[in-house]
Amino acid sequence: MSTTDDIRWLTALTAGEMTLANAYDRAVKTAGEWQASDAVITLLKMLAGHERLHAEALQQAGAPLAAPGSGVLPDNTYASLQGFADAITALERIMAQAYVQAAAVLSSPSLAEAAALAGAAEAEHEALLKIELAGASPSGAKIEPITIEQLESRLRALGWTG
Amino acid sequence: MLSRRDFIRWSAGVGLLAAASLETACGLATATAQPQDGEILNRILGLEDLLSDFWKRSLPALRSATDASGLVKVFQAEDLSHIDLLEASLTQLGVARTERRSFDYPEGTFDTPSATLRQAVQLATLSSGAYLAAAGRLRAGSLRGLCAAIGSVEGRHRVLLRRLGGSIPVMDAAFETAGNLDTVGDAVKVFYRYA
């Protein structure tokens, strides 16, 4: 794996993190319309903060800035709390899967460990969203990895222009 | 919050990409498994043996706590799968499995659901930390990926157990924390039963 490949991973992961952060920010603003509980709003704010820190850390590690305006979920995602929960839980899962593959292929142990630490946080986010917003417990003995091509394809479907 | 230590790990000085180039140049990012990979996997396997035993022992204590016992049954099944995955990896490496031990727990561990959950959170924290540290220590990329994949699930266990135990905030940082692989064996030995 070359540094060029590392940058490709870090770039796509940053785009995913920015998409998550933007989505949580908008969800916090929309929470009143959904009549979301204080506990849900607190959770959304915490998750927004985590994603921004992940994106900042990726950029500090060498990822380029995400393109402005990219990484925004479609308006209809916010039509209901349930619709938002479904979309954001799926995206958290994709990111957890991507970080697992990144841990396997990034060119150094330190990058691999950093990816594993961020990926575990995404898996935990997914678990909390499922249990708090859908009343369901996540299960599965391991997070299945996805390739860089799969990650980029999912992000482009969400409007990423990278 | 992102801890200072974690942030430094990500961004230290010249950045991880520069560090990655150096590690690669020094041959630290070898793609194939090395003998020490088996030793690391065996340390974690000893921990999974402990977890598997702990879940079995905790179920009677959690009988009155329906939410907790349901989750623990899921965790028990998932940790048994992790044992299978680790054993299969050791077989591929040609490394013998660590000896299966019997375990004892501190007095009172299973007296109440809250005491059981407190111990469960500690063990899940130890486990997720060990796997995630291994993701940065193993030589084989496939094993790093495996440990990241399982470590994420162990982190999920930790957070869901913290939630059940009423911890606020349920997640205490934006990044999970890597444990210390050099001390995980000693942490497991604390629970060994000596006949």
Concatenate the DSSP letters of all residues of B112-145 into one string: SHHHHHHHHHHHHHHHHHHHHHHHHH-SSHHHHH
Task: Please answer yes or no on whether B160 and A139 come within 8 Å at the CB atom.
Answer: no
* Weakest mean pLDDT among A117-126, B5-14, B112-121, B147-156: B5-14
Q: Which amino acid does the sequence have at B92? A: Q
Which two three-digit tokens encode residue B111? 């007296």
What letter would DSSP give residue B179? Answer: -
Q: Which amino acid does the sequence have at A72? A: V
Counting one residue from chain A and one from chain B, the pairs whose CB atoms sit within 8 A come to 204
Task: Please answer yes or no on whether B176 and A121 come within 8 Å at the CB atom.
Answer: yes
Q: pLDDT tens-digit profile of B139-195?
A: 999 999 999 999 999 999 999 999 998 888 899 899 999 999 999 999 999 999 986
Measured between alpha carbons, how far is A85 from A83 in angstroms, rounded to an integer? 5
Hey, CA dihedral for B131, B85, A119, A29, is it positive or negative?
Answer: negative
CA B29 to chain A, closest CA, distance in angstroms equals 5
Q: What integer is the mean pLDDT of A77-106? A: 96
DSSP string, B22-38: HHHHTTTT-SS--HHHH
Measured between alpha carbons, how far is A84 from A96 in angstroms, rounded to an integer? 18
Closest CA to B187 of B123, B108, B110, B96: B123
Chain A's closest residue to B153, CA to CA, is A142
- A134 in contact with chain B, both atoms CB, cutoff 8 A: no
Q: What integer is the mean pLDDT of B92-115? A: 96
Q: pLDDT tens-digit profile of A136-153?
A: 888 888 899 999 999 999
Compute the C-alpha angle B138/B151/B74, nearest 5°. 145
- A7 in contact with chain B, both atoms CB, cutoff 8 A: yes
Which two three-digit tokens encode residue B76? 């028990």
CA B175 to chain A, closest CA, distance in angstroms equals 5
Residue B136: list chain A partners with CB under 8 A.
109-110, 112-114, 116
pLDDT of residue B26 exceeding 50: no
- A144 in contact with chain B, both atoms CB, cutoff 8 A: yes
Cα B185 to its chain centre, rounded Å, is 12
Residue A140: list chain B partners with CB under 8 A.
78, 153
Task: Please answer yes or no on whether B152 and A120 come within 8 Å at the CB atom.
Answer: yes
Cα B79 to its chain centre, rounded Å, is 10
Closest CA to A130 of A99, A73, A88: A88
- A128 in contact with chain B, both atoms CB, cutoff 8 A: yes
Give the ipTM.
0.93
Q: Residue A122: what pLDDT?
A: 97
Measured between alpha carbons, how far is A54 from A13 in angstroms, rounded to an integer? 9
